[in-house]
């Protein structure tokens, strides 16, 4: 089945008390998707299971934020982040994500669990200009890897300039 990946400019919304839930393996392949996730993404459960979570990546979302997220959870830390996702139709939706590592009974990391809620409009308005700046840095570089590294450095610098010791602290502060 061909998937239309064009952007529609239409924002999707979900209810303030809904929670989007997914689980992935260590490589980011989706192993579980709840009904809210299926509904807002526009994909069927069959399309989501086994697909990389990046199937939802919106092109306006800087890759360096995902680098930060994956680096942190791979090191065993939980992460809070604002993420712009793209639905199957090309519509978009913002989420306030909480991602944690999952462990088996022996303490071995086996995957990741993510809960996403409706973000506050003020918080999205705060991160949008930052994400636009980071995306511009990524897009102006000679190659994708260099662009992501330059944008990541800019993200770390911006966080420090704002007086925070981590992206998580920045996110939690604007979430209040």
Q: Is the pTM of this model over 0.85?
A: yes
Q: Give the integer Cα–Cα distance in Å for 133 and 61.
A: 11
Check pLDDT > 90 for residue 5.
no
Residue 6: per-residue pLDDT: 85
User: Rounded mean pLDDT of the chain?
Assistant: 94
- List, for residues 95-108, the tens digit of each pLDDT value: 999 999 999 999 99
Residue 165: per-residue pLDDT: 86
Report the 10 Å Cβ neighbour count for 165: 9
Q: Give the integer Cα–Cα distance in Å for 57 and 148.
A: 15
Cβ–Cβ < 8 Å for 127, 121: no
Check pLDDT > 80 for residue 4.
no
Check pLDDT > 80 for residue 10.
yes
Residue 126: per-residue pLDDT: 92
Instruction: Tell me phi and psi for residue 62, to 5 degrees.
Output: -65, 135
């Amino acid at each position: 089945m061909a998937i239309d990946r064009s952007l529609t400019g239409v924002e999707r919304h979900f209810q303030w008390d809904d929670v989007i839930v997914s689980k992935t393996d260590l490589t980011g392949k989706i192993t579980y998707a709840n009904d809210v996730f299926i509904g807002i993404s526009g994909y069927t459960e069959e399309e989501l299971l086994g697909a990389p979570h990046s199937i939802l990546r919106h092109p306006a979302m800087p890759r360096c934020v995902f680098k930060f997220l994956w680096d942190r959870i791979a090191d065993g830390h939980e992460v809070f982040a604002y993420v712009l996702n793209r639905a199957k139709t090309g519509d978009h939706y913002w989420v306030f994500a909480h991602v944690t590592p999952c462990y088996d009974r022996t303490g071995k990391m086996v995957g990741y669990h993510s809960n996403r809620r409706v973000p506050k409009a003020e918080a999205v308005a705060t991160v949008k200009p930052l994400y636009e700046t980071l995306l511009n840095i990524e897009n102006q570089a000679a190659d994708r890897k260099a662009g992501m590294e330059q944008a990541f450095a800019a993200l770390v610098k911006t966080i420090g300039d704002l007086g925070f010791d981590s992206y998580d602290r920045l996110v939690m502060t604007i979430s209040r």
